[in-house]
Amino acid sequence: MNKNHTANPPNASNTPFLTIKDLWKAFGKFVALREISLEVFEGEFVCFLGPSGCGKTTLLRAIAGLDLQTSGEIEQGGNDISNLPPAERDFGIVFQSYALFPNLTIEKNIAFGLENTGKGKAEVSARVNELLELVGLPDQGKKYPAQLSGGQQQRIALARAIATEPGLLLLDEPLSALDAKVRVFLRHEIKELQRKLGVTTVMVTHDQEEGLSMADRIVVMNHGIIEQVGTPAEIYRDPQTLFVADFIGEMNQMAGKALSGSSVQVGQQKLSCPDHEFKNGSQVIVAVRPEDIVPHGKGARSQGAKDTIKTPGNAFEVIVSDMEFLGSFWRASLQSSKLGDARLIANLSINAVHRMSVEIGKTLKIEIPPERIKVFPPSQKVSQGSGLEDV
C-alpha cells in the first residue's frame, strides 16, 4: 500500500498547504480511517473519491474539525489544527443538502458569516452583491432559499462558504442532490470559480466522472484507506490497485497466471505485458480496459489507415456473443475458447462496427496491446473485502 502520497501535483505550488499525518478514526470497534497521510498544496483542487462508506466524508469532517479524528495530526498553513474546534479553523464548507437557512433570505444567508466581522452594513451588502454576481445569481438576493432551484441553492451555498474568503474550501458531495444536466453544468462552474479564486479545495464525491473532470488530483479511498493518489489521467491510465482499476472507469478482469519476465497466460492464451514481479506460475488477475481492445480485420480502420497487428502474440480470434448500443459506441461481449471461461468486453466505435459489420455470432480478431495490460495479485480482491482486517 502507498503510505506516502506526495507526488507533485500539476497546477499548484510546491508548499503543502494541508498536511495530514498518520490519521486514524475509529467509531467504537469500527475503524473508519486508517493510516491516512496526505498533502494538499496551495491552490490545488483535490477530490476524495470512493464508494459510500469508504471514509471520504469522515476524512473531510476531520479536516473541518466537525468530527475529530481519533489519532493523527492535521496541519493547515503550517499550524497544527489537529484538535481545534471548527470555529477556530479556516475553511468554508458546502454540503450536499446545501444547508441554507430556510428562514433567511439569500442575502442574509450569504451575509451570515460576514456579520460581526467589523464590516459595515454597506460593506457587507457590497460583498453580498459581489458574491451573487460571482455565482451568477444577481437580483436573487431578496428571495428565500425555497424559491430557488436546487442548482441555484447550491451556488448560494457556495457563495456563503467563500464569503469570508477562507483558506480552504470543503465540498461534501456538493452535486449529488442535483439532476444530471445541472450537475454537469455546475461541475464546470465550480471548477471555474475555484480557479478564479485560487482557493485550495477538497471535494468529496462518489461520482468518478465528477472527480475526473474537476480535480487536479484524486485521492481514491476504499474501506478507510487511501488506495491511490494521482492526477485524473494517472489514476485512469495507471491504476495501482485492482480496486482503483475497477472503480475508475471499466476494466476487464481475467483470472490467469504469471509467466516469467513480461508475460501472463489467460486460459491457453499467452499475452505479453509490461514487466511484472510475479513469480512464474503464480495466480494473477489480468486486467484491460474495454476501450483498449483493438479490433482487426477488414474495415477495422478508417479508409486509408493501415491495419497492422503490433504484437501478434497478443492477437487472437473471438466470437461476438452479445452487443449493446450505448450511443457513442458499441459494447461487445467477446468469447474465445482460448481464454477459457473468461469473457471480454470491448468498446467498439460505431464506425468500425458498421464497416466490419460486426454482429452477434460473428468471429472477430482482436489484439490486446501489451502496454495496456495490468497485472494484479488475486489476493487484492480478498483484502478489499474487509475494513476490519488486522493491521
In the complex, what is the shortest distance from the CB of residue 66 to other proteins, in angstroms, rounded to a whole number? 5
Residue 336: closest CA among 261, 258, 238, 266: 266
Q: Are the C-beta atoms of 207 and 48 separated by less than 8 Å? A: no
In the complex, what is the shortest distance from the CB of residue 262 to other proteins, in angstroms, rounded to a whole number? 39
Count of residues engaged in binding other proteins, rule: CB under 8 A: 49
12 or 32: CB nearest other proteins: 32
φ, ψ of residue 363 to 5 degrees: the values are -90, 145
Q: Is position 224 an interface residue for other proteins (rule: CB under 8 A)?
A: no
| All cell numbers assigned to 245 | 482499476
31 or 245: CB nearest other proteins: 31
In the complex, what is the shortest distance from the CB of residue 291 to other proteins, in angstroms, rounded to a whole number? 39
- The residue with cell 486509408 is 304
146 or 305: CB nearest other proteins: 146
Site stretch for other proteins (CB under 8 A), options 37-45, 143-151, 198-206, 325-333: 143-151
33 or 214: CB nearest other proteins: 33
DSSP string, 161-173: HHTT--SEEEEES
**CA–CA dist 330, 290 (Å, integer):** 11
β-sheet with 269-272: strand ranges across: 269-272, 263-266, 252-259, 283-288, 374-376
Q: Are the C-beta atoms of 195 and 88 separated by less than 8 Å? A: no
List the x/- string, 161-200, binding to other proteins by CB under 8 A: x-xx-x---x------------------------------
- CB count in 10 Å sphere of residue 317: 14
Site stretch for other proteins (CB under 8 A), options 142-150, 176-184, 286-294, 339-347: 142-150
In the complex, what is the shortest distance from the CB of residue 121 to other proteins, in angstroms, rounded to a whole number? 16
DSSP string, 202-266: EEEES-HHHHHHH-SEEEEEETTEEEEEE-HHHHHHS-SSHHHHHHSS--EEEEEEEETTTEEEE
Q: Is position 70 an interface residue for other proteins (rule: CB under 8 A)?
A: yes
**CA–CA dist 8, 217 (Å, integer):** 10
68 or 315: CB nearest other proteins: 68
**CA–CA dist 237, 75 (Å, integer):** 31
Query: Which residues ranging from 332 to 371 are in contact with other proteins (CB under 8 A)?
Result: none
In the complex, what is the shortest distance from the CB of residue 33 to other proteins, in angstroms, rounded to a whole number? 9
Pairing of strands 71-76, 79-80: antiparallel
List the x/- string, 34-63, binding to other proteins by CB under 8 A: x-----------------------------
| All cell numbers assigned to 277 | 514481479
Pairing of strands 217-222, 45-49: parallel
**CA–CA dist 292, 275 (Å, integer):** 18
Among 11, 79, 147, 363, binds other proteins (CB under 8 A): 147
Site stretch for other proteins (CB under 8 A), options 68-76, 188-196, 225-233, 286-294: 68-76
**CA–CA dist 47, 27 (Å, integer):** 24
31 or 273: CB nearest other proteins: 31
Site stretch for other proteins (CB under 8 A), options 28-36, 49-57, 251-259, 330-338: 28-36
Query: Which residues ranging from 72 to 111 are in contact with other proteins (CB under 8 A)?
Result: 72, 82-89, 91-93, 95, 97, 99, 101-104
Q: Is position 68 an interface residue for other proteins (rule: CB under 8 A)?
A: yes
Residue 204: closest CA among 170, 177, 169, 238: 170
Site stretch for other proteins (CB under 8 A), options 39-47, 160-168, 173-181, 202-210: 160-168
In the complex, what is the shortest distance from the CB of residue 208 to other proteins, in angstroms, rounded to a whole number? 25
Residues of this chain that bind other proteins (CB under 8 A): 22, 24-26, 28-29, 31, 34, 64, 66-72, 82-89, 91-93, 95, 97, 99, 101-104, 112-113, 115-116, 144-147, 160-161, 163-164, 166, 170, 391
